[in-house]
Structure 1
Amino acid sequence: MQDQITSILEHMAKSQHELARTLEAKREVIAHMAKMVSEIPDQNPSFGEIEALMEHSLSITKGLTSYLNSLADLEDAIADNLSPIVKAMKEQPGDE
């Protein structure tokens, strides 16, 4: 039983590591987008049409929201996957 739990944990760790790498890539994109936004002058910006500005702002907001939702999904996946493992380990008699 302990070997199965160890194997499951190893597979979960690998998949969650891949998820973390994906999130890291998303984080870098979001950080770059946020830096671009911070470069916008506070007064009298000349962007041309306001519609383009609104579209880009919406795109940045969607990207940030997607990144934060992905972080929440990763947290939920970790919790969902570890709960049965922790429960199984607690139920085992003093095998340590």
Structure 2
Amino acid sequence: MQDLIDEQLLAFAKSQEQLGRALDAESAVVRRMAALLRKVPVEDLKRVKGDPYTEAELSVAREIAGYVNALADLEEALADFVKHAIKELRVAEEE
């Protein structure tokens, strides 16, 4: 039983590591978009018809919201797994 729990923990750790890499990449994209947005001079934006600054801000906000949602999903997955692991450990202790 302990081997099964150890195997599950290793698989979970590997999947969380991969999810962490994806979140890190998404974070890099958000930081880069925000940095690019700050570099655009206001005078250049005034020459463009419409409201490109607002569109760029909305794009960055959407990316940030996606990143935060992914973090929330990660937290939920961690909580579910820890709850499952604790149940398995209690069952193993009772045996």
User: Is this contact kept in 1: 2:27–2:67, CA < 8 A?
Assistant: yes
Unaligned 5+ residue runs, structure 1? none
Partner of 1:75: 75
Structure 2 length-normalised TM: 0.83
Q: Write the distance in 1 (CA, Å) between the matches of 2:56 and 2:89.
A: 49
Offset at residue 94 of structure 1 (A)? 8.1
Does structure 1 retain, via aligned residues, the 8 Å contact 2:5–2:85? yes
Q: What secondary structure, in the 3-state scheme, does the structure 2 residue paired with 1:93 have?
A: helix
How high is the TM-score relative to the length of structure 1? Answer: 0.82
Determine the structure 1 residue equivalent to 2:44: 46
Count of aligned residue pairs for this structure pair: 93
Q: Specify the code of the residue in structure 2 equivalent to 1:19.
A: L
**Ranges in structure 2 where 5+ consecutive residues have no aligned partner:** none
1:25-84, Cα deviation, whole Å (9 max, x unpaired): 00111111222233355xx54302343222211111100000011011011111111211
- Specify the alignment match of 1:63 in structure 2: 63
User: In the alignment, what sits opposite 1:89?
Assistant: 89
Cα distance, 1:94–1:35 mapped onto 2, change above 3 Å: same
Check the 8 A contact 2:37/2:56 in 1, yes or no: no
Separation in structure 1 between the aligned mates of residue 57 and residue 31 of structure 2, nearest angstrom: 14
Secondary structure, aligned partner of 2:44: coil
